[in-house]
Amino acid sequence: MIKSVAIQGVKGSFHHIVSQQYFDENIVVDECMTFDAVIDSIIKDKSDAAIMAIENSIAGSIIPNYALIDTHNLHIVGEHYLDIQHHLMALPNQTIDDIKEVYSHPMALLQCKAFFKQYPHIKLIEDIDTAQVAQRIQENQTTNIAAIASRLAAQLFELNIISESIQTIKHNETRFFIVRTKNSEIPENEINKASIKFELDHKRGSLATILNVLSDCMLNLTKIQSLPKIETPWKYAFFVDVTFESYKDYDKAKSIMKIMAQDLKVLGEYKNARL
């Protein structure tokens, strides 16, 4: 039973929203300022599960988070997709003309850069977390400063949204993993997605051969990403997500891949959130 989760950021952050949508509003959250701290929280049993952003439709995969899951031998037990909407917010009765500085997470600033071209008087400043800035503005009653954060952050910290959905690309989806130190025992008939990692030598056709196996076993590929292994030139690691209708098909593919690829590692088997 999962009662507490570690999230990156404070309450009102996008990780917090995911914790509420995936579990419910009563879930206890441990607010962590870095992904390292998030992992620490589950390893030290402070939290039952962790929530980690893993890729978004603008910037692609967050490879360091894959590395954290891999090196700590954690288990992905679920996934969740969130449509990220960034709002500009400040204390009530502040207008856009009052704002001199906007603080937010570098990724949020990047995604909203175009909006601020029409307001050259506003200085953009990087901060550690989107929601934390909102919290600080309320606590210190700071005027002339705005945050870029979620609607939940505006509600929690009683800020006024000056401008809605200011990100350049209006549909900006981020995928999150729910991660645990031990495998959740999801019944096999409920599992229809898996994240795996394997290595291949740089030999012509080696990846095509593996993908043929997946296809022959009725698995669908929903993601693939190669990463060169720097310590061993000409060797590649692949992170692959597959979906399937029957666990048996997946199990068969796994057995074949174990023989054909090197260092096959299952990062997680879980329910597809896209159904």
Q: Contact residues for a second copy (CB under 8 A)?
A: 57-61, 63-64, 67, 106, 110, 126, 169, 171-173, 202, 204-205, 207-208, 211-212, 214-215, 218-228, 230-231, 238
By C-beta, is 1 or 208 nearer to a second copy? 208
**Least distance (Å) from a second copy to the CB of residue 223?**
5
By C-beta, is 143 or 272 nearer to a second copy? 272
By C-beta, is 45 or 231 nearer to a second copy? 231
**Least distance (Å) from a second copy to the CB of residue 206?**
9
27: DSSP letter: -
**Least distance (Å) from a second copy to the CB of residue 216?**
8
- Find residue 160's DSSP bridge partners: 90
Helix or strand holding residue 139 (H, E): helix 130-140
**Least distance (Å) from a second copy to the CB of residue 136?**
17
Helix or strand holding residue 50 (H, E): strand 49-56
**Least distance (Å) from a second copy to the CB of residue 61?**
6
Q: Which long-range contacts (CB under 8 A, 24 or more apart) does 120-129 make?
A: 125/101, 127/103, 128/33, 129/8, 129/9, 129/10, 129/13, 129/33, 129/105
User: Pick from 39, 59, 58: which is nearest to 49 by CA?
Assistant: 39
122: DSSP letter: P
By C-beta, is 66 or 270 nearer to a second copy? 66
Q: What is the largest CA-CA distance in the chain?
A: 65
**Least distance (Å) from a second copy to the CB of residue 225?**
5
**Least distance (Å) from a second copy to the CB of residue 52?**
15
By C-beta, is 28 or 221 nearer to a second copy? 221
- Find residue 145's DSSP bridge partners: 101
Residues 6+ apart with CB under 8 A from 136: 142
Copy the structure tokens of residue 67: 């590395």
**Residues 266, 76: Cα–Cα separation, whole Å:** 9
By C-beta, is 186 or 211 nearer to a second copy? 211
**Least distance (Å) from a second copy to the CB of residue 93?**
31
By C-beta, is 28 or 125 nearer to a second copy? 125
By C-beta, is 215 or 262 nearer to a second copy? 215
User: Pick from 50, 108, 109: which is nearest to 80 by CA?
Assistant: 50
**Residues 134, 234: Cα–Cα separation, whole Å:** 47
Amino acid letter for position 198 = F
Residues 6+ apart with CB under 8 A from 189: 247
